Amino acid sequence: MSRFSTPRSTLALGVVMCTACFGIAACGSSNNDTTSSSSSSSGTSTTATKAGKVAVLLPDSKSSVRWETQDRRYLGDAFKAAGVDSTIVNAEGDPATQRTQAEQAITNGAKVLLLVDLDPGSGSAIIANAKKNNVKVIDYDRLTLGGGADYYVSFDNTAVGKLQGEGLVKCLDGKTKPVVAELNGSPTDNNATLFANGYNGVLDPLYSSGKFVKGPNQSVPDWDNQQALTIFEQMLQKTNNKINGVLAANDGLANAAISALNARKLPALPVTGQDATAQGIQHILAGEQCMTVYKAVKAEADAASKLAIALAKGETPTANQSVDNKGTKTPSVLLTPVSVTKDNIQDTVIKDGFLKVSDVCTGKYAALCTKAGVS
Ligand code: BGC
């Protein structure tokens, strides 16, 4: 409970917002960049360049609820506010479907794709086909390794992993030689590699010094929550339940670990997460999960949509950073993630409107919300 707490709140959130602003401020291209085609209430917008269609290609709805509950609404709102024609589709985990969706979008006149890839191969094929058709691609949230997208908008994903590693260390404070199990994200998602670099950067030295004990460590194909449950059950089986902390790469994987512990009637363990889902926050309130990572998807969607709108108007926006993608420098916007524990739920996800109190404080969680000052 209180040992799971960490003081990090509005200050860090300010960083998210500022990073977003800077990313965007650098985006406007030099001349005749009027705001958006929907702008004038008089209906006589004269100088606005007509923006082409933007298509958003989401990956699935099961590896994380974020894609349908957060990204879809924030991206949809941003394009609507700018009066830009957009479509948002979800490949439901099928790379072939995503390729078809991309082709269809281009046939229907899309000038810009926002792509969340499912694997580097299918993602690269989508980008190659877009290039052939003079369509720009923004890698949204996930960098398509070797794909050569025109832009990349995401969070600092190594920093996400670092927050998870540091969070777990705090939650395990006072434990002697705790055994840590790691449930990594999908091996085909470049983000999963970056998250692991971040948390292993914190944990590896502790394993080496003998302060922590490296337990079972496995990647979860496609971030599949069902498979994560089986994998974690096997981890418990193999170790005779001797696991003291779980580095789970997102809230879905955390939920799998928590379910396996509950099914065996084992006590709660420090478990990390990511995405600040309503379920993850409820687990935190109940003391079953020690932290999650909040990524302000609104800022991510806003940054990506600003770039997309400029590209759709035929402009060449600039970004304030660049990321190396297998030898190609990709103009990028990378936002700052924030750690969430029981102490700062109110000041982060609730204050931002990312989650509603009514999403979190249901049933038995109502009293826990009151106790944690979530209202
Ligand atoms: C995203 C995470 C998400 C995971 C599973 C990652 O690429 O950055 O936010 O939890 O995919 O969908």
Output the pLDDT for position 52. 75
Q: Please check whether residues 209 and 355 belong to one and the same domain.
A: yes
Pocket-testing residue among 74, 191, 251, ligand 1, by greatest number of atoms within 8 A of Cβ: 191
**Closest among 321, 369, 2 to 152, alpha carbons compared:** 321
Q: Please check whether residues 213 and 346 belong to one and the same domain.
A: yes
189 C-alpha to ligand 1 centroid (Å): 8
We report the CATH number of the domain holding residue 94 as: 3.40.50.2300
Residue 13 DSSP SS3: helix
Instruction: Please give the distance of CA 77 from its chain centroid, rounded to a whole number.
Output: 18
* Whole-number Å distance between alpha carbons of 145 and 127: 11
326 C-alpha to ligand 1 centroid (Å): 21
Per-residue pLDDT of 229-263, as tens digits, reads 999 999 999 999 999 999 999 999 999 999 999 99
**Closest among 279, 271, 272 to 293, alpha carbons compared:** 272
Output the pLDDT for position 33. 30
Question: Which atom of ligand 1 lies closest to the CA of 155?
Answer: 8
Domain span at residue 129?
8-155+297-336
Q: Please check whether residues 302 and 222 belong to one and the same domain.
A: no
* Whole-number Å distance between alpha carbons of 315 and 78: 18
Question: Which atom of ligand 1 lies closest to the CA of 157?
Answer: 8
From residue 359, alpha-carbon distances to 279, 295, 318, 326, 372 in Å are: 9, 18, 38, 41, 15
Residue 21 DSSP SS3: helix
Output the pLDDT for position 61. 98
Mean pLDDT of 293-302: 98
Residue 63 lies in a domain: yes
Q: Please check whether residues 51 and 102 belong to one and the same domain.
A: yes
**Closest among 204, 117, 220, 127 to 169, alpha carbons compared:** 204
Q: Please check whether residues 209 and 141 belong to one and the same domain.
A: no
User: pLDDT > 70: what percent of the chain?
Assistant: 86
338 C-alpha to ligand 1 centroid (Å): 15
Output the pLDDT for position 48. 53
Question: Which token pair is 177?
Answer: 């030689």
Pocket-testing residue among 57, 61, 62, 64, ligand 1, by greatest number of atoms within 8 A of Cβ: 64
- Number of domains present in the structure of the chain: 2
* Whole-number Å distance between alpha carbons of 60 and 183: 20
What's the pTM? Answer: 0.88
Residue 46 lies in a domain: yes
Indicate whether 30 pLDDT > 70: no
- CB of 189 shorter than 6 A to ligand 1: yes
Residue 3 lies in a domain: no
How would you write 134-152 as a 3-class SS string?
CCEEEEECCCCCCCCCCEE
Question: Which atom of ligand 1 lies closest to the CA of 274?
Answer: 10
Q: Are strands 321-325 and 328-335 parallel, antiparallel or unpaired?
A: antiparallel
Mean pLDDT of 17-39: 34
